[in-house]
Amino acid sequence: MAIETLVLGAGQEVGKSCVVVNINGKRIMFDCGMHMGVSDHRRYPNFSLISPTGDFDTALSCIIITHLYCINTLFLRFHYFLIIKISHSLILYSYIFFFGIICDSHLDHLGALVYFTEVCGFHGPIYMTYPTKALAPLMLEDYRKVLVERRGEEEQFNSDHIAECMKKVIAVDLRQTIQVDKDLQIRAYYAGHVLGAAMFHAKVGDSEMVYTGDYNMTPDRHLGAAQIDRLRLDLLITESTYGTTIRDSKYAREREFLDAVHKCVSAGGKVLIPTFGLGRAQELCILMDDYWERMNLKVPIYFSAGLTKQANVYYKMLINWTSQKIKDSYPTNNAFDFKNVCKYERSVLDTPGPCVLFASPGMISGGLSLEVFKRWAPFENTLVALPGYCLPGTVGHVLMSKPPKIELDPNTKIDVRCQVHQLAFSPHTDSKGIMDLIKFLSPKHVILVHGEKPKMVSLKEKIHSEMGIPCYHPANNETVSVPSTVYVKAQASDAFMERCLKPNFKLHKCSSQELSIKTLTDKNIVPELQVINEKAVFIVEDKSKKLKVVHNDEVLVMLGEKKTED
Amino acid sequence: MEFTCLSKGRGSHFPPCHILNLGGIKILLDCPLDLSALTPFSPVTTAFYALPSLEEDKVDANNDVGSMAVPAKRQKIENQPENKTLIFAEPWYKTVMNLHLWNPSFIDVVLISSPMGILGLPFLTQMKGFSAKIYATEVSARLGELVMRDLVSMHKELKQFYGPTETDFPVWLRQEEVEKIPSVLREIILGKDGTELGGLRPLYSEADVNDCVLKIQKLKYAEEVCYNGILVIKAFSSGVEMGSCNWILDSPKGDVGYLSNSSFISSQVAAFDYQSLQGTDALIYSDFSTLNSTEDVEDEENESVQLADKLLMSSHGLVGLYHNAKEDSEEMEKLAFICSCAIESIKGGGSVFIPINQFGIFLQLLEEVSKAIDASAMKVPIYIISSVAEDLLAYLNIVPEWLSRQRQERLFDGEPLFDHVKLLEDKKIHVLPNIHSEKFWMHSREPCIVFCSHWSLRLGPVVHLLQRWHKDPKSLLILEGGVNPQLALLPFKPMAMKVLRCHFQPGIGLHRVRPLLETLQPKTLLFPEEFRSHISFPSEKFCSVLYYAEGETSKVSCKDGSELKIPATLASNFYWNAFKEQEINLARLNGELIIENARYHLLLDNTEKNSNGRTNSVSFRKPELEKLLATFSNFGINASVEHQKMNSESQIQCVIHTADPYKAVIEIGTSSVVITTAGENVASHLYKALDSVLKGN
């Protein structure tokens, strides 16, 4: 009995994750990503390996979405899936990828979920957490619009496709045990990272495994830390984005950011924060709202993106998915009712005086944030705060090198005199977090996905040497096979149970010879006379190959009785 | 397994209470309070007018009104209850009497199935020696907490009114005083034969509530929690109220299902998850709602209630096993009817008072009434008066996971879960913590709609409102089931205002009980005695049915033995000893027995002791000494019999010493052979020799 893991994507790389796992002769897929840098068919994982005929309904029993992925984090994670097969059932774990409006060359990596269900034709159930289900259509729709309107690309799917796809989605709550079919059972655990992110536990028969997706082991301003039960796992598949980094305190960087913003507004300058609708925007807003309150600042904060505003409506209803601190202050103070946030109107762009503006999309890749940037960048007292990573090719990326001029196109050049502040807190777990999780779960095997190869190798060595857990980091299209647990069922007699519950202590004397061997190693630990809890049991196999577990005394009775019968 | 029904409860506000002993673990199912037993107590308003004659010093303060209401001296024996026969004292609360027969320190687990099942819990948690683990769904715990806080704050008014008591034993509980209480009221509070006196308790404090809430472990639906490794507990939606649930308890000896008050109609809350209760070893049926509602209807028919204008609308939710649009509409019809009555009375210039009972119904009514007002183009303020109203309304908007699919759709559409969020923003609803708000009294001359606590009409803002409006024939009071209207309205007589009684009794429905149980297919069914005449089971095809009654203990036999799991890697390495005569194989294992998630696991003992411990096996024969010595010499072992005697005490028959090539002692007893050597290799070598003799080679 074995669990075979075939990696189709995100093996020793960041992006396009796709792993097919075969447990006890059954297959599941975790995540199914697209690669952003490739534009031909190679950007998709080789779905034909799941089912050469394209009959995904029989090949997969369900899809699980671990979270809604938001791009404005340090690393770009592409929509990726991973398939694991457990006892006749395939689970597809997948990320929905939201890029918002990113640079043009990378616009075609959206909604692989919709693509997979509506275009490839998967009709099985799809599982995701409540926040993910609530926010997914919002993002997908926005994404689709970007594709069609900005790039003029042919529609890969339309709004109806999104609606159809969402109908197949079954929302799950944390810790709820969902019986997908007779054999397959799944359960979501809180993963931090982004609202609604979850780690998924899958169990078939006696084989158990956890797929983490992205997680964060340290609580954030609006989300809690990842939480999971102690489980008996055969396999843990974990992300390893920050495989070798140990991050310092976030508070210093938050402080720095707030100081920079405060300095700017008190000098009468304007602050532009280009950000995507979810996650970071809320976190920064909570941070700033809090700071405004404490410092009694009156400078208006504007939230431009309709998306962000809509997202806040969801955040307010999904308070239970945020951090404990926010939950506790509810209902007297809903952290998402930002007191200092004013309603955005176009006129504020030209209104003199200081202000803070959250504008979408992040990375200043177009839309309002680019428009505002064009207007404000030539002024020295403007501050552009870039939360998170900016893709090459975006204005944000260019801006990080602080050039005097940015050339948008041959006809448009912007003088850049503004200050630039880059914030780098990412909601991914770091090396310590990964090690803590593995230590806590102590699975029998670990597979690392989604990380850069050198980082994976060193993390793998660390896991192997520190915990003695076999660890693998397969490359794409490689297979790893690990044994899975199978239990044999036996019937235990009541007398046996009763005896077992009572301790049966016996004195045991170590012979001097044994002692002399032992004293070499642990002199002080082994006394000459030991108390031993006798734990011997008898296992009886009868004609029908049924196992019975009985106590010592019962065996004799059993044999004796049978003899008299003869 | 032992099951004891402590109380079969009454209606949704007073759920049943049971104790289950599952393999030595004592589980208390719900801990409710019977708040309908407040009826014999006077609300603060009546007492205000009635008491001046008893407490002279208070008259001064209330001279202007006190003069009108000096009651006649109380007669010794009164048959007919009237408002002066109510108990003018700080009320005591009625807990489940039978629960006090149990030592609280022996309870291991408490399961709370609904927000109402929590109300008696602070009495239990403050008891000395109580250390049970308490489980409730997140929402049950939170809503229950709010109800308890509201209760404590409403009770404060009475407490302040009567002042501190000198003794722990109140005057009204003395034998002679108790006899003065009219029998109808006495029965409510003390039971038919007066034995329920022991269940009465003065109310807990806010600190007790806080303390109690901290002890609750909160669950989600279908979350698995493990008590002590030996019991896996799971809650499944029952479709009655937000957070209300049924339970599955899984132990190594089998699983038990607890079916509490459940409903197939759930337009507001998550649907009844009956599939998860399928195929249990034992199922406890504890939905008495159907019976209660039939009884209630009979009661009402016998009663001749002389109220000014009584519109009686009673219905016992006849539900289908599968969701049925028709039945859904039935509930909606009821709501629509209430709304139309409310609008009518508003149009006639009267106000409408709705005591809050069930949260789901309350929210629905709130939505329907506000819609009806909008439709009629009137501007009528809606007030919600309760100390916890603000928290409650805010909380109900953040629990999408616990609501019905229709409600969840609102989340996915980006709308608030309930209309009240918008109504509050538009200032159409006003939430007030208490009645003493200027805002309320300023506008209360105009017709308005007020939702307030408490449905017993003995506590909270409702008593003041009724005191003020009971003589207004234009106003309307909507009473939601549960209470005897005649007795409940006693303090406010003569009543001129209209009273509408409605009945929302969510339940499985009598005609659906059998199909449901046939679907669930438990091996053993514990069924209430009261239902025996209503529902019959086909005995031969169906499971075994045990009827239980209040206060009795039923025993259910468990299966013999427990299931145990052995890792296949270990099982495949067993060294089997075949016993051909008995046709069995035997293996001996020095292992470790662990229990995890209600399943036993047998693992190999990896500790070092194993290596120097004695390994042994079982054989049916006794070794023949000569043969053994011969075999030993075959194996190249030099052995000598040193000591041979019959010793009955030690059961050692003979001792064999070997010196060459290794030193060992072999003791042969009547039923065992013990080989003692210095090393394991030697032992196994000798063992092989012995084994070959034993096997008769």
pLDDT digits (tens, 9 = 90+) for A482-505: 888 888 888 888 878 777 777 666
Of A39-53, A94-108, B56-70, the one with minimum mean pLDDT is A94-108
What's residue B307's pLDDT?
31
Looking at the complex, report in whole angstroms how far the Cα of residue A494 sits from the nearest Cα belonging to chain B. 5
What's residue B193's pLDDT?
78
What's residue B295's pLDDT?
46
Contact A536 B589 (CB under 8 A): yes
CA neighbor of B157 nearest in space, from B208, B121, B203, B213: B203
Contact B587 A536 (CB under 8 A): no
Which helix (H) or strand (E) is B218 found in, with range? Answer: strand B216-219
Looking at the complex, report in whole angstroms how far the Cα of residue B214 sits from the nearest Cα belonging to chain A. 14
Q: Which residues of B touch A444 (CB under 8 A)?
A: none
Q: Which residues of A touch B600 (CB under 8 A)?
A: 492, 497
Q: For chain A, what is the mean pLDDT? A: 73
d(CA B56, CA A293): 55
The arithmetic mean of pLDDT across residues A298-313, rounded, is 75
Looking at the complex, report in whole angstroms how far the Cα of residue A119 sits from the nearest Cα belonging to chain B. 23
What's residue B402's pLDDT?
94
What's residue B541's pLDDT?
67
**Residue A291 scores a pLDDT above 70:** yes
Token pair for B510: 């009598």
Q: In chain A, which residue's Cα lies nearest the Cα of B583?
A: A543
d(CA B377, CA B369): 12
d(CA B479, CA B464): 16
CA neighbor of A220 nearest in space, from A284, A293, A272, A275: A284
Percentage of residues in chain A having pLDDT higher than 70:
64
Contact B222 A1 (CB under 8 A): no
More confident residue, A561 or A498: A498
Contact A174 B678 (CB under 8 A): no
Q: Which residues of B touch A530 (CB under 8 A)?
A: 609
Q: Which residues of A touch B673 (CB under 8 A)?
A: none
Contact B417 A491 (CB under 8 A): no
What's residue A445's pLDDT?
93
Of B414, B571, B589, the CB nearest to A310: B414
Looking at the complex, report in whole angstroms how far the Cα of residue A48 sits from the nearest Cα belonging to chain B. 33
What's residue A495's pLDDT?
79
| pLDDT lower than 70: segments of chain B | 47-81, 83, 291-328, 444, 481-482, 539-541, 581-582, 605-624, 642-653, 669-673, 680, 694-697
Name every residue whose Cβ is closer than 8 Å to that of residue A351 and which is 6 or more positions away in sequence: none
Helix B138-162 vs helix B206-214: crossing angle, to nearest 10: 170
Phi, psi of A152 (to 5 degrees): 65, 25
What's residue A255's pLDDT?
86
Specify which residues B21 forms β-bridges with: B2, B26
The arithmetic mean of pLDDT across residues A420-436, rounded, is 78
Looking at the complex, report in whole angstroms how far the Cα of residue B565 sits from the nearest Cα belonging to chain A. 5
Contact B564 A566 (CB under 8 A): no
Q: Which residues of B touch A559 (CB under 8 A)?
A: 579, 582, 618, 620
Mutate to test the interface with B, among A541, A544, A546, A553 (most CBs of B within 10 A): A541
d(CA A546, CA A525): 42
CA neighbor of A113 nearest in space, from A150, A76, A147, A139: A139
Mutate to test the interface with A, among B145, B251, B401, B577 (most CBs of A within 10 A): B401
Contact B222 A176 (CB under 8 A): yes
More confident residue, A106 or B532: B532
The torsion of the CA quartet A549, A550, A552, A558, rounded to 10 degrees, works out to -120
Helix A280-295 vs helix A250-266: crossing angle, to nearest 10: 60
Q: Which residues of A touch B220 (CB under 8 A)?
A: 173-176
CA neighbor of B672 nearest in space, from B690, B657, B697: B690
Q: Which residues of A are catalytically annotated?
A: 239
What's residue B223's pLDDT?
94
Q: Which residues of B touch A175 (CB under 8 A)?
A: 220, 223-224
pLDDT band at A65 (very low <50, low <70, confident <90, very high): low
Of B221, B411, B601, the CB nearest to A173: B221
What's residue A391's pLDDT?
62
Looking at the complex, report in whole angstroms how far the Cα of residue A350 sits from the nearest Cα belonging to chain B. 31
CB pairs under 8 A between A and B: 172
d(CA A335, CA A316): 8
Q: In chain A, which residue's Cα lies nearest the Cα of B564?
A: A490
Phi, psi of B563 (to 5 degrees): -80, 145
Q: In chain B, which residue's Cα lies nearest the Cα of A173?
A: B401
CA neighbor of A64 nearest in space, from A88, A39, A30: A30
pLDDT band at A110 (very low <50, low <70, confident <90, very high): very low
Contact A486 B568 (CB under 8 A): yes
Contact B563 A494 (CB under 8 A): no
pTM of the model: 0.82
Contact B414 A538 (CB under 8 A): no
Contact A130 B616 (CB under 8 A): no
Task: Give the CA distances from residue B81 to residues A436, B41, B86, B189, in Å, rounded to whole numbers and listed in that order.
Answer: 69, 12, 8, 14
CA neighbor of A250 nearest in space, from A277, A272, A217: A217
Name every residue whose Cβ is closer than 8 Å to that of residue A503 and which is 6 or more positions away in sequence: A533
CB A108 within 8 A of CB A147: yes
d(CA A344, CA A301): 9
Contact A558 B584 (CB under 8 A): yes
Of B399, B564, B620, the CB nearest to A492: B564
User: Can you tell me the ipTM of this complex?
Assistant: 0.80
Q: Which residues of B touch A171 (CB under 8 A)?
A: 401, 408
Contact B587 A330 (CB under 8 A): no
Q: At B248, is the secondary structure helix, strand, or coil?
A: strand
More confident residue, B294 or A187: A187
Q: In chain B, which residue's Cα lies nearest the Cα of A130?
A: B401
Q: In chain B, which residue's Cα lies nearest the Cα of A313?
A: B414
What's residue A525's pLDDT?
47
pLDDT band at A94 (very low <50, low <70, confident <90, very high): very low
Q: Which residues of A touch B559 (CB under 8 A)?
A: none
Q: Which residues of B touch A1 (CB under 8 A)?
A: 568
Token pair for A5: 């893991």
What's residue A96's pLDDT?
38
pLDDT band at A88 (very low <50, low <70, confident <90, very high): very low
Of A176, A317, A566, the CB nearest to B221: A176
Of A138, A330, A562, the CB nearest to B582: A562
